[in-house]
A and B are shown apart, each in its own frame.
Chain A
Amino acid sequence: MLEVKDLHVTVEDKAILKGLDLTVNAGEVHAIMGPNGAGKSTLSAVIAGKEGYEVTQGTILFEGQDVLEMEIEERARAGLLLGFQYPIEIPGVKNIYLLKAALNAQREARGEGEIPAPEFMKLVREKSAQMQMDPSFLQRAVNEGFSGGEKKRNEILQMLVLEPKLAMLDEIDSGLDIDAMKIVAQGVNSLRSAGRAILLVTHYQRLLNHIEPDRVHVLVDGRIVKSGDKELALELEARGYEWVLEESVA
């Protein structure tokens, strides 16, 4: 589904990713782990199309399409969706309005018509109940005055409504207490399906206790230096990142 080959990315002339390779198949959950500054968030930002990142080498293919040739919104419409580490506040714009505009933009791109209002309301009510969000959140301005946990739940709510093919979740566990983490994890787990892939970017292993990954990758200094199954995450938790780095150099 997603194929990243020899990806080199610089930010303000500083090399961040230095030849990253990653293949994610439909139905899989992948976790990208690594120390601070390794380039984890850069990877998901580049795939989503954020400005300020220069791809100097390499390719990103999503279902055979060249992602780097696509506009930001085209990527989202193709089914690539980024859950933000720091969700953005948009004063005066209702949460439900953003959801509806996004869903209809994606439906339109797929040649489907706008979703009928009653159907949309039913969908959104159901999904916000799943995320244990009071319906009043839908009427509030996007992320404005939301707590950290509420913002993250709101990100997952968007995923549940928009149903991407590839959900990329950047540090979705940061700033969450254990109850909020369970709600978020339950939301992510409900997204798991044969046709969908999930890419988790995380600093800590604890998220992976709740969302079990199929593959774990260690990103150090702009490259994936080690990949394994979920046991690798546990080993990292116990031993830190140093040994992986040493192993890769050796």
Chain B
Amino acid sequence: MASEEMEQLVRREYKQGFVTDIESDTVPPGLDESVIAFISQKKDEPQWMLEWRLEAYRQWLKMTPPSWAHLEYPEIDYQAISYFSAPKKPEDRPQSLDEVDPKLLETYEKLGIPLHERAALAGVAVDAVFDSVSVTTTFKEKLAEAGVIFCSISEAIREYPELVRQYLGTVVPQADNFFAALNSAVFTDGSFVYVPEGVTCPMELSTYFRINAANTGQFERTLIICDKKAQVSYLEGCTAPMRDENQLHAAVVELVALEDAYIKYSTVQNWYPGDEDGKGGIYNFVTKRGDCRGDRSRISWTQVETGSAITWKYPSCMLRGKESIGEFYSVAVTNGRQQADTGTKMVHIGENTRSTIVAKGIAAGHSDQAYRGLVKIGPRAKGARNYTQCDSLLIGDKCGAHTFPYQEIGNSSATVEHEATTSKIADDQLFYCRARGIDEEDAVSMIVNGFCKDVFQELPMEFAVEAEALLNVTLEGSVG
């Protein structure tokens, strides 16, 4: 197909670009210790939490942003960002959906998330984060019956300080990296999950959150702990309204799996990617790490990344427990001027640990993406095994895909396999479908969805359907 045709059709407007007009209680841009104290105070936090934040802040001041990623973006002015924004009157939290600001509900409607219907139909408890404060939490009672704690991290800090203190920062330390340190200093909200010993969480836990107030950085902190023999499936999905300023998003997600525990963490990410020149999109610098602390524990990351102007994200697993399992299934789609440097780290520490990596990258338009994966086998990880497969699919001739696999093998009994392919979306496949009467756009989405199937089948059912739809929207007009 002709590239100018493609060029023309690659341009599409972000369908979920709109701003909900709810007054925010925002601090002026800038960051110093007084801003951190303000945040901590706003959140009614105990003294230890404030000190923890300040420690992180002081370390952050000594750090520099990472420069090794295959990304290009202007330097970020951290003093131009406002670090706190919450919907007005946080003390008057709604007790049910009826009390929720109708404008917020409208926002969810536009996003195709009919909250109440979805919750009722799918049996999903939704902890919706709107800007930085949890506005509504459903199904809490059912979860409480099972002994599962699912609440905002702020609430957890107040209600379950001993659990938070025990685990916060034990997977991603305060000074782990530049963005994690910043997050540790200024995080405003996020989710907390604790599943007690022997409990299988009775429903999939889901947080839909979006960035709303203009020019406000979003710093989510999520902590999920699965006690011995416990299981949980957690879904994270997000979209954001259209705006002009580049927005920084630096979340931290920590997962802890004790003996025989299983955490499945699925993400569908659809943040604003910017206009056709790449202006205005979200900068997504995320640190996600799971710790298979107990023997036979298992952590599985599944992600579908379609949005953001820049994505810097490597969900990782520390496989400490014997026979523990780490998995990473990823589809990353870039279009327009998007850049993504994403992948995973599997660190094998315990004996007979296993990991699987399946990464699918799809690049269209002028986008550029890299898969960066580290498989590290420690000296004590006898019999460790890794299988890595990464495939890239290019649509058109102005995009790029790169693979950077790193392997550090410290044990001769380990088995590490790596397979990688890069293919262009084949003209003969397109012709075959079109010669059956299927129009080109449908044919592309069919072929691309087929390419991603190994990953989609790892997603929970209702999420898989959404992911497919999202993929189609993202690639809309990527070919003529």
Contacts and interface: CB of A to CB of B under 8 A. Distances in A.
13 contacts: A50-B435, A51-B1, A75-B435, A76-B435, A84-B435, A88-B432, A91-B453, A98-B436, A101-B446, A102-B438, A105-B438, A105-B442, A162-B436
Given A90-B446, A91-B451, A92-B452, A77 B437 contact: yes
A interface bracket (residues with beta carbon within 8 Å of B): 20 to 34
Interface in A63-93: 71-73, 75-77, 81-82, 84, 87-88, 90-93
Given A88-B428, A88-B432, A73 B447 contact: no
A15 interface: no
B8 interface: no
B439 interface: yes
A106 interface: yes
A51 B430 CA distance: 11
A71 B430 CA distance: 13
Interface of B: 1, 426-429, 431-440, 442, 446-447, 449-454
Contact of A84 (B427, B432, B452): B432
Interface centre among B437, B438, B453 (most CB of A within 10 A): B437
Contact of B436 (A49, A51, A81, A141): A81
Instruction: List the 4 closest pairs (A to B, CB-CB), nearest first.
Output: A92-B450, A93-B450, A92-B453, A102-B436
B468 to A, nearest CB: 12
Given A92-B450, A92-B453, A101-B442, A109 B431 contact: no
Nearest to A77: B437
Interface in A155-197: 158, 162
Contact of A105 (B426, B437, B447, B454): B437
Interface centre among A92, A141, A158 (most CB of B within 10 A): A92
A81 B435 contact: yes
A92 B362 CA distance: 15
B437 A73 contact: yes
B434 A76 contact: yes
Contact of B450 (A82, A90, A162): A90
A105 B432 contact: no
Contacts of A88: 426, 428-429, 431-432
A48 B430 CA distance: 13
Contact of A109 (B1, B437, B442): B437
B437 A93 contact: no
Contacts of A48: 435
B451 A158 contact: no
Given A73-B438, A92-B452, A102-B437, A51 B446 contact: no
A76 B450 contact: no
Contacts of B427: 51
A90 B438 contact: no
Nearest to B451: A92
B436 A158 contact: yes
A73 B440 contact: yes
B453 A87 contact: no
Contacts of B440: 73
A90 B447 contact: yes
Given A72-B435, A90-B450, A92-B451, 16 more contacts: A51-B427, A72-B434, A73-B435, A73-B440, A75-B435, A76-B435, A87-B432, A88-B426, A88-B429, A93-B447, A98-B433, A98-B438, A101-B436, A101-B446, A102-B436, A105-B438
A101 B441 CA distance: 12
Nearest to A48: B435
A97 B436 CA distance: 12
A186 B149 CA distance: 65
A212 to B, nearest CB: 27
A158 B438 CA distance: 13
A73 B446 CA distance: 15
Interface centre among A98, A106, A162 (most CB of B within 10 A): A98
